[in-house]
Homo-oligomer: A and B are copies of this chain.
Amino acid sequence: MRGAVLYAPGDVRLEQRPAPEIINPTDAIVKIAVSCVCGSDLWDYRGINPVTEPTPAGHEYCGVVVETGREVATVKPGQFVIGSFFASDGTCPNCQAGFQTSCVHREFVGGCQAEAVRVPLADGTLVATPEPPADELLPSLLALSDVMGTGWWAAVAAEVKPGMTVAVVGDGAVGLCAVLAAREFGAARIIAMSRHESRSKIALAFGATDIVTERGDEGVARIREMTGGIGVDAVLECVGTGESMRQALRSARPGGNVGFVGVPHGVEINGQELFFSHVGLRGGPAPVRRFLPDLIGRVWDGRIDPGQVFDLVLPLDEVAVAYRAMDERRAVKALLRP
């Protein structure tokens, strides 16, 4: 089958790879309906994370189950499924607590920019749609496997509640989905930090009430000005740099919360500053599996359409073009059709 492989920074290639096979009795093989490129793929593509060997790329997926191991009980061949980028057993204490991405048996689901993928721990990882979805639902369902689940988690981690004022740092696909999540959680005011017109437009469509173009200290000053000097109730940090984290922490009011979902790179948090800020902080890889049943329902009912974050659609054969477009920020997020 065809699949994308990252060889070195800037060097992603589509090539023939062995078709995935059942290895463990808890595995499922999923024929990919659509896949995509993630902002976090760019950490590798840009060489910020070291690439030590050719690595099958992509971790977002949805599609049809074609085969299951003998112990798989909750999904079966023919069903359309969505799963998380971390496979989870669904039964360990961390899964039971709703933190499936900290499952004691977790496995990364890599190599999804391909025609098919092996998903370990299928029962604890995959969720089936009520029936095979219409083609126009595919982008939104795909978004649930990472970016929408991650934006949702940002809102959960920051404890967004009805009536709150929320700021979203980052206008990538996750940041935009975080805006949508804040709207669904009933936030009264949603301030999107964005200086890209095309992204601001999606943010507004997703429920942002204000756009702030300033960044860093100026962004913090603007947020404080908008909130009577106090800060916002919740900040959804969707970038993962030292600057974005500082901006997030300084934008929240005492007693407010920062949910941080951008994988931190070079981020050190000063304990004394955090202490005197009275701000609560929680982040981590989104426990997407926890949210999938709810989010599939919202997409199915037409209540949310996170698929709008895909502003570039390419055949899988052009995966290298997709990476380049995202790397150069010409696209928010590229969808790939095998």
Residues of A within 8 A of B (CB): 93-94, 97-99, 101-102, 104, 157, 228-230, 240, 242, 245, 253-255, 260, 263-272, 274-285
Contacts and interface: CB of A to CB of B under 8 A. Distances in A.
B255 A99 contact: yes
A129 to B, nearest CB: 27
Contacts of A230: 93-94, 104
Given A275-B285, A285-B276, A228 B93 contact: yes
Nearest to A276: B284
Given A93-B230, A254-B102, A255-B99, A277 B271 contact: no
26 contacts: A93-B230, A93-B253, A94-B253, A99-B254, A101-B278, A104-B229, A104-B230, A240-B271, A260-B271, A264-B271, A264-B272, A264-B275, A265-B272, A267-B272, A268-B268, A268-B270, A269-B269, A269-B270, A274-B283, A275-B285, A276-B284, A276-B285, A278-B283, A279-B282, A280-B282, A281-B281
Contacts of A104: 229-230
Which of the listed residues A104, A253, A284 has the most CB atoms from chain B within 10 Å of its own CB? A284
B268 A245 contact: no
A279 to B, nearest CB: 7
Contacts of A94: 230, 253-255
A254 B92 CA distance: 12
A264 B278 CA distance: 13
A43 to B, nearest CB: 12
Nearest to A278: B284
- The 6 A-B residue pairs with the shortest CB-CB distance, nearest first, are A267-B271, A264-B271, A102-B254, A280-B282, A278-B284, A99-B254
Nearest to A97: B255
Given A264-B275, A278-B282, 18 more contacts: A93-B228, A94-B255, A104-B229, A240-B271, A245-B271, A267-B271, A267-B272, A268-B269, A268-B270, A268-B271, A269-B269, A275-B284, A276-B285, A278-B284, A278-B285, A279-B282, A280-B281, A281-B281
Contacts of A264: 271-272, 274-275
A69 B313 CA distance: 71
Nearest to A262: B275
Nearest to A102: B254
A59 to B, nearest CB: 16
A101 B254 CA distance: 9
A286 to B, nearest CB: 10
A152 to B, nearest CB: 15
A310 to B, nearest CB: 26
Given A97-B255, A255-B97, A268-B269, A281 B274 contact: yes
Contacts of A157: 280
Contacts of A101: 278
Which of the listed residues A240, A255, A271, A275 has the most CB atoms from chain B within 10 Å of its own CB? A271
